[in-house]
A and B are shown apart, each in its own frame.
Chain A
Amino acid sequence: MPFGGLIFLTSGLYMGWSLGANDAANIFGTAVGTRMVPFRTAAIISIIFITLGAVVSGGGAAHGLGALGAVNALPGSFVVSLCAAFTVMWMTKAGLPVSTTQAIVGAIIGWNLFSGYATDQDALTRIVGTWIFGPLLGAGIAFLLFFLVRFLLGRFNIHLIRLDKYTRTALILAGMFGAYSLGANNMANVVGVFVEASPFTDIRLFGFTFTGTQQLFMVGGLAAGVGVATYSKKVMLTVGSKLFKLSPITAFVVIVSTALVLFLFASQGLKEAMESVGLPSFPLVPVSQSQAAVGSILGVGIAKGGRNLNLALLRNIVLGWVATPLMAALLTYVALFIMQNVFMQVVYV
């Protein structure tokens, strides 16, 4: 692999780092913030399962993203990823809600516009559709799950002390699932734009083939791991104590329902199983984890009788749908122009 390839991957690594620092923190935020699960345990689980999800099942959503626009030159991928990352960073700093998914979609459209490739309308509709459907689905699942958990708790009358023990175990299991789903679904945002222009080649070892794409996903997973290890603790403590004040049990409901949403939009196996029995299946595209989480939190809020419903959260979601892709697309367009005409790099072929 040429050295230049590595340099161009850095923006993807940064996106991976951000995924590990922010999104992984959403999974274990309440658990760590309320000291139910020690940070070390949460970090190790996140790193292992994000990477596992990315390598095993990350391809599906990346393919869905690739259908939107196949960024086919490495310097182009670099710019797309960097601009998405920059949008995320800038909007986070401005205190606006942001999703990596929407940023990367906007950036890809920016690349499409610049390179003159047509944006696949079907793919775009599919992806944007999930932005609306994802939070709704999250709300629905969380709503049902909340009642199920409450029913079970009411039925078995578990002593507070023992319940605490079970809750810890449940939070760890849910965290594993959450991290796996995050890797499977959202790693596409990190490395998806590098798939077409991947600098990796297939490696054959002991009769197994480790494809270039899988290597790419593993690198993304490792970058996320670095994000978890270096920065997520701070975010976890914020999530656990300020942003969403959830009890450990409601946190469990939110984590599981968010993870289910991401999983549904990432699992090739599930898609095939549903299609084989003639059921409509979920498109394999990246969905926003934070918005699925907000949807789930609203679902729990409604299940609780809608007293503490924060409608500003809803408004923020809609704002994110519009502002993030627009900004990312604009930024990418300008950056590609600079890359092509100032740095003399080929940004599309």
Chain B
Amino acid sequence: MMGRKEGLKRLLTSKAKTLELEIEQYLGLIDQSALLLEEAIKKYLNDRFEEFEKKSAEVKETERQADELRRQITHRLYAEMLIPDSRGDVLGLLETTDNLADVAKRVANHFSTEKPEIYPFLKDDFRELTEISIKAVHELTLAVRAFFRDVYRVTEHLDKVHFWEHEADEVEDRLKRKAFEAPDIREFSKRVHMRYFAERISLLADEAEAVAERLAISAIKRNL
């Protein structure tokens, strides 16, 4: 009897529930890709290159999974005619969120192929920049989750995304100035290389902010 009841319940809720779970899972993957990148960069900064490569591969794999899941969600939303009213918003949101995993993958890849020589006096700044940028991404995934479940809390998280993005900008700026002012770095190309990586890492926070702008508008629309 219990089994039949459960079967019936599953039959009634499966479509919506599956999609809900997939969206949760997708946001989890985005979050995970950022956290894996953080780990990867920290390994790199500690000169543990083998471990870095391992983490870097994990970032790539997570990005691939997120991409696949996003396509599946998009297909489901259209094929099963769900949320016609806010479908455009949701799809746009998921797509731009996907950029975050994409940026994470590319940053990891740049480290892996270009193997930048990070000067010891810049290591702490790179570490801080990474941590702050990842915080922006994490806060953004929380905001997106709130958009689906508790729309009145979206702003709270978005404020934090903006805060971390601003912090990231400051650290990026500080890092670049140090790189260009430091007498230890002799070659100009190496200064430019430091600048390039600072900008790449900070791009994560910038992308998070771009999604945040979009999310703010979608959230207003959802406020009844």
Contacts and interface: CB of A to CB of B under 8 A. Distances in A.
Interface of A: 34-36, 146, 149-150, 153-154, 157-162, 164-165, 247-250, 304
B148 A150 contact: no
A304 B224 CA distance: 9
B90 interface: yes
Nearest to A251: B85
A154 B152 contact: yes
B85 A161 contact: no
Nearest to B12: A165
Contacts of B85: 34-36, 164, 247-248
A161 B84 contact: no
Cβ-closest 8 pairs across A and B = A35-B84, A164-B83, A160-B148, A34-B85, A157-B150, A161-B16, A162-B16, A159-B20
A161 B20 contact: yes
Nearest to B77: A161
B148 A159 contact: yes
A159 B147 CA distance: 9
Residues of A contacting B: mostly: helix
Contacts of A35: 81, 84-85
B86 A160 contact: yes
B16 A247 contact: no
B150 A165 contact: no
A160 B147 contact: yes
Contact of B90 (A150, A157, A160): A160
Nearest to A160: B148
B9 to A, nearest CB: 13
A131 B81 CA distance: 40
Contacts of A164: 16, 82-83, 85-86
Given A160-B83, A160-B149, A161-B20, 12 more contacts: A34-B84, A154-B152, A157-B149, A160-B222, A161-B23, A161-B82, A162-B20, A164-B85, A164-B86, A247-B85, A247-B224, A304-B224
A35 to B, nearest CB: 4
Interface in B183-221: 221
Contacts of A247: 85, 221, 224
Nearest to A38: B81
A35 B81 CA distance: 9
A250 B224 contact: yes
- With most chain B CB atoms within 10 A of its CB, the pick from A153, A159, A161, A162 is A161
B19 interface: yes
Contacts of B86: 160, 164
Contacts of A304: 224
Contacts of A249: 224
Nearest to B221: A247
Contacts of A248: 85
A187 to B, nearest CB: 32
A250 B223 CA distance: 10
Contact of B16 (A149, A157, A165, A250): A165
B83 to A, nearest CB: 4
B20 to A, nearest CB: 5
Contacts of B222: 160
Contacts of A34: 84-85
